[in-house]
Each structure stands twice: as C-alpha cells, then as structure tokens.
Amino acid sequence: MARIVVIGAGMGAMAAAARLAVAGHRVTVYERAATYGGALGRFERDGFAFDTGPGLLQLPAVHRDLFVKTGKEPLEACVDLVQVDPAARHVFADGTEVSLPNASRAGVVSALDGALGAGAGERWGDFLVRAREAWDRTRRPLLEEPLWADWQVLGEREPYPALRQRRLLRTRTAARLAEVGAWELGDPRLAALLESYALAYGLDPRAVPASAAVLPYMEHAFGAWYVRGGIRELARAVHERCVARRVEFVFGAEVVAITEKDGRATGVELRDGTVSEADFVVGGPPELLKSLTGRDDLYGGEAPGPQPTSPSRGKAVVCLALRGPREAGAAHRTVVHTPNRTEELDHTFTAGTAAPRPTVWVDRPDDPLLRPDDAHESVVLTATVPSLAHHDWAAAGAADAFADRMVAAAERAVPGLRGRVLWREVRTPLHTERETGAPGGGIPAPALAGEGGTRLRPGNTTRIPGLFAVGGWAHPGGGLPHAGMSGSLVAGLIVEGPDFRGSQ
Ligand SMILES: Cc1cc2nc3c(=O)[nH]c(=O)nc-3n(C[C@H](O)[C@H](O)[C@H](O)COP(=O)(O)OP(=O)(O)OC[C@H]3O[C@@H](n4cnc5c(N)ncnc54)[C@H](O)[C@@H]3O)c2cc1C
C-alpha cells in the first residue's frame, strides 16, 4: 500500500483518487477551496439553483466505467442520468430553427432537410461519417492511452479525411475546421452548426485543425446527457464514491510546494506549513506542477511534453432567475448563433475583446430541483469569451454589459425573457480562475491531433519520478469525459507502472 497525495478535488483528480483507493492505496486529497468539483460549481439563491460549469455531460461511458471499477453501485444508481432530446435546438443568424434529435442519424438528417432544405441532412450525415473516421483513428491515443512517447506522430497526421476540392485551379483539402464547414457542408447554417462545437470548447474554428470534427461526432454518437439536480450532482456522486473507498479529503488546504528527495517526489507542503509525505503525488495542471516544484523541465525524455501554443478562452455564465413557468416542450438547450460569425471570432480570438453579438448557449433544464416552484424557472446562459490574459473582466461594468448582450441574444430563443427576469448572477473568467486555479480563468479543450501537436496536452507522467499530472490541462485534455480519462490513466500508470498502455 502506497501513500498517495492528490492536489485538488477537481473531477480528474477525484477520478484518479477513487481508482487508486480501490487498488489498495491510502489516498489523501488536499483541496484549497471549501468544496469538491472545481469547475463543476453550483450557484444557489432563493430556491433557485444553477450549474455554473458544464450544463450537459458527453461520453457518459467514461463515468460509467469509473463507477463500475470503484464499487458495486453503477453510475445510474448514484445519479439520475437522463438523455436530453432534442440534443439541441439551433437558432441561426437568418432566423432558421432546427431541433436535432439525440444520437439519431436518420432523425438528424430529416430534421436538417426539413429546416434547411433537401440535401442539407445528407451533407451533414456524410460529414459525420468522415468525422467518425477521425474519431476511430484518434480515440485510443487521444482518449484511452497515456500520451505516446513519440507524440509528434499525432501532430504530423491529420486524421480527418477531408474531401478533395478544386479551388482556384488547385486541388486542396480542408486543413482547418472552418474550411470543412465552408467547403464540404455547402450551407452557411451547417457551417455555423459545425463551428459552434469548436466555439463551445473555446476553440477558434478558423485555427483548429479539421480533426476537431470529432467534437460534433462525440455528441452525435454518444448523446448529450443531463444529471437531474444539475451536472454538479456528478461531482457529488464521485466525491461520495471516493469517501466510500476511504479517500480522505482535506478542504481549505492549499498545496504550496511539492517536496522532493534524491530527485523523487516525496509529498507536499500546505500553506499552513504542514508537510504531508507520500510515495506518489498526483497533481493538477502541468503549469501548477511547474510552479509547485520550481522546475521548468518537467517534460522531456521519457516524459512526453508537447507545449500547447494557443492560449485558451474562458466562459461567461449568466444565471437567470425567472418568474413564470417553463413552457411545455421547451428544448433543454438552445444555441443562438451570432448574426455575424467573423465579427464574433475576430473579437474573441484575434482582438481578445468581448464580442458585441456573441453566440449564446441557453440551458433550460426541466428540473423541479432547480427552481422554487413551477411558477418559476432557472435558466443558464453561456458564451465563450477571452480569458483574463486578454480582457479585463474586473473593469467597471464589463461583466454586466456583456451579460446584457447575452440576454438580448437569448431572447431570440426565449421570447419575453427580459421581462421575466427576477434577478441574475453574472460570472466571468474571474470566477473560473478563483474556483479552479486556472490562470486567466481559461477552459481547457480536449486534445486534438494534427497541427504539429500544438493541440495536444502535456502527458500525465513527469520527469520527476512519483509526480503525475491530472485534469483538463494534462493529457488527454479538457471537458468532463477527457478529464475523467486523465484520472483513469494516472491511476493506471501508478498501479501498473510506466508500461501501462491504457484501458482495454
Ligand atoms: C464555465 C465552464 C463551462 C464549462 N463547460 C464545459 C462543457 O460544456 N463541457 C465540458 O465537458 N466541460 C466543460 N467545462 C470544463 C470542465 O468542467 C472541466 O474540464 C472538468 O470539470 C475537469 O476539471 P479538472 O479535473 O481539470 O479540475 P478543475 O475543475 O480545474 O478543478 C481543479 C481543482 O483543484 C483545486 N486546486 C487548484 N490549485 C490547488 C492547490 N495549489 N492546492 C489545492 N487545490 C488546488 C481547485 O480549487 C479546484 O477545485 C467547463 C468549465 C467551466 C468553468
């Protein structure tokens, strides 16, 4: 039995903790905040409750596996998991609307044909077939296996089989996601649909490789899921599973240094001066580990270390307490597309300023647990925004002015919205930075292949024996399923050793 210290109670770290405890190790989690879950926050007031992190869960198989491997009760016995149908309703710039059924190719094809015109559904369906190829080619190395020592190979190969195009007298294939949209989908609304999946992860569709096609594919193939009571319930369940497996949690305990002896990690030091010794230290983001060890050379040699070059974007979140009931049949999620994509992308990614007319995700869970009674409704609006590295969200009025624009956009999805607002809570990357420790309050995206490996994340092993990186900023990247897999990979690397080749 080894003593293992885990830094932070984020979802990736808790997944590692539960798995390591089941393997017979003594695990202690030191979390600087007063609660678990990190980005999976909740805001509550006056009988209203809101998810302040992700509003839906994708690839639930990752969390199902965690619950199967760590105890008798499956995930479904610990949370009330429901498939959201439609997966999303989209309101495009020209006013066209379409509701995409959950995980049904035929349903999606016929919905798109009906809303956008004959042929649109088939073009999207054909695109998903190609996206599946990219998924099949990268699923193992970019989700289920520790980062390859020769990770450069993943950067060299673009797994998306783009169609050959005759353009300007040359034969070309789409290298970027936006080119896939413009050249292969043949409709600006389908292009907007495609690009919105990248934007949701804080990625610029004009810059990300075509391999980002796996993002819509994941939702299409594995569905969009909601956890009754809010997605934070998933964090509650994972925390409970950890506690049941005798993981010890110490809250209000910030790790300020990682101790080393003879080049090996030997434990952590907390802000109050306490030193906790351990055989293994499972940290959070690679950048945090660098600062806690005071070493810049955590990667290299046996410890693969791609250096992501694109700074991540953050999220603005507006929690709306509404008077009046949610109308029957309202979609759980509506994506209200910006009237001007170039303008939004230029602001968010090029200038680093808040977009005048952002794309807004409107989440309206039909969940009595989130509202005081059926005469009220709780709604969450989300938009992708520049992080604190580019934009001063603390400037007077900055957050409120942007929230006004988000509400104005959301009114296209929920007519009369503004008149129903009792109060609102506005959150920006300032909150994300405070609650997760991510510098600038950015959000990590899943690792992607292609583009010279610049969209990969540093691996889970480091050059310091006994020290591991976990969570969305490490391999295989951000988002709930990917961070959950980072926990699985770290546990595998500790339990089975460096030859661990991933879950089977
Ligand atoms: C607003 C928002 C929207 C999002 N939307 C989506 C979405 O739609 N879909 C999706 O899949 N994902 C989404 N994400 C991302 C997703 O929530 C995360 O990638 C996922 O929860 C994994 O987080 P993590 O394991 O990296 O830990 P984090 O959530 O980053 O938590 C890190 C934890 O470590 C603690 N910590 C940090 N430093 C220290 C220290 N020195 N000592 C002790 N503790 C420390 C922090 O307090 C925190 O609790 C969203 C995130 C946010 C913030």
Does residue 334 register a pLDDT over 70?
A: yes
Residues in CB range of 412: below 8 A, 6 or more apart: 91, 336
504 pLDDT tier (thresholds 50, 70, 90): low
Among 255, 333, 443, which residue has the most ligand 1 atoms within 8 Å of its CB, making it the best to mutate?
Answer: 443
CA 10 / ligand 1 centre spacing (Å): 6
Residue 371 CA from chain centroid, whole number: 25
Of 452 and 121, the structure prediction assigns the larger pLDDT to 121
Residue nearest to atom 16 of ligand 1 (CA): 479
Using the atom order of ligand 1, give the atom closest to the CA of residue 52: 1
Structure confidence at residue 309 (pLDDT): 65
Q: What are the tens digits of pLDDT across the range 352-366? A: 999 999 999 999 999
Q: Pick the closest to residue 87 from 62, 58, 121, 51 (CA basis).
A: 58
Give the Cβ contact number of residue 368 at 10 Å. 11
Q: Is the pLDDT of residue 25 over 70?
A: yes
Residue 381 predicted with pLDDT over 90? yes
What is the DSSP-derived secondary structure letter of residue 53?
S
Please identify, by atom number, the ligand 1 atom nearest to the C-alpha of residue 15.
25
Question: How many angstroms separate the CA atoms of 473 and 445, rounded?
Answer: 8
Nearest atom (ligand 1) to Cα of 473: 26
Sort strands 88-91 and 333-336 into parallel, antiparallel or unpaired: parallel
Q: Looking at residues 171-192, what average pLDDT do you find?
A: 96
Share of the chain above pLDDT 90, in %: 90
* Percent over 70 (pLDDT), the chain: 99
Q: Following DSSP, what letter does each residue of 306-319 receive, concatenated?
A: ----SPPPEEEEEE
Quick check: CB of 241 below 6 Å from ligand 1?
Answer: no
What's the one-letter identity of residue 369? L
Residue 306 banded pLDDT, cuts 50, 70, 90: confident
pLDDT per position as a tens digit, 219-241: 999 999 999 999 999 999 999 99
Residue 261 structure tokens? 């002896």
What domains can you pick out in the chain, each with its CATH number? 3-39+229-309+457-496 (3.50.50.60), 109-221 (no CATH)
Among 31, 219, 255, residue to substitute to test ligand 1 (most atoms within 8 Å of Cβ):
31
3-state DSSP call for residue 363? strand
Given a cut of 90, whether residue 204 has pLDDT beyond it is: yes
Is residue 54 lining ligand 1, measured as CB closer than 6 Å?
yes
Q: Is the C-beta atom of 288 inside 6 A of ligand 1?
A: yes
Span of 66-75, 283-292, 473-482 with lowest mean pLDDT: 283-292
Place 310 in a pLDDT band, splitting at 50, 70 and 90.
Answer: low
pTM given for the model? 0.97
Q: Is the pLDDT of residue 307 over 90?
A: no
Q: Is 141 in the pocket of ligand 1 (CB under 6 A)?
A: no
Which residue CA neighbors atom 27 of ligand 1 most closely?
10
- Nearest C-alpha to atom 45 of ligand 1 is from which residue? 8
| Helix, strand or coil, per DSSP, at residue 54 | coil
Judged against a pLDDT cut of 90, whether residue 165 lies above it is answered with no
Confidence at 173, pLDDT banded by 50, 70, 90: very high
State yes or no: pLDDT of 424 exceeds 90. yes
Between helix 120-139 and helix 177-184 the angle, nearest 10°, is 150
CA distance 175 to 280: 41
Long-range pairs of 412-416 with CB within 8 A, sequence gap ≥ 24: 412/91, 412/336, 413/89, 413/91, 413/334, 413/336, 413/360, 413/362, 414/330, 414/334, 414/362, 414/364, 414/379
Task: Check pLDDT > 90 for residue 299.
Answer: no
Ligand 1 centroid, distance to 251 Cα (angstroms): 16
* Mean of pLDDT over the chain: 95
State how far the Cα of 140 lies from the Cα of 351, in Å rounded to an integer.
36
For 176-196, what is the mean pLDDT?
A: 97
Task: Give the nearest ligand 1 atom to 437 CA.
Answer: 37
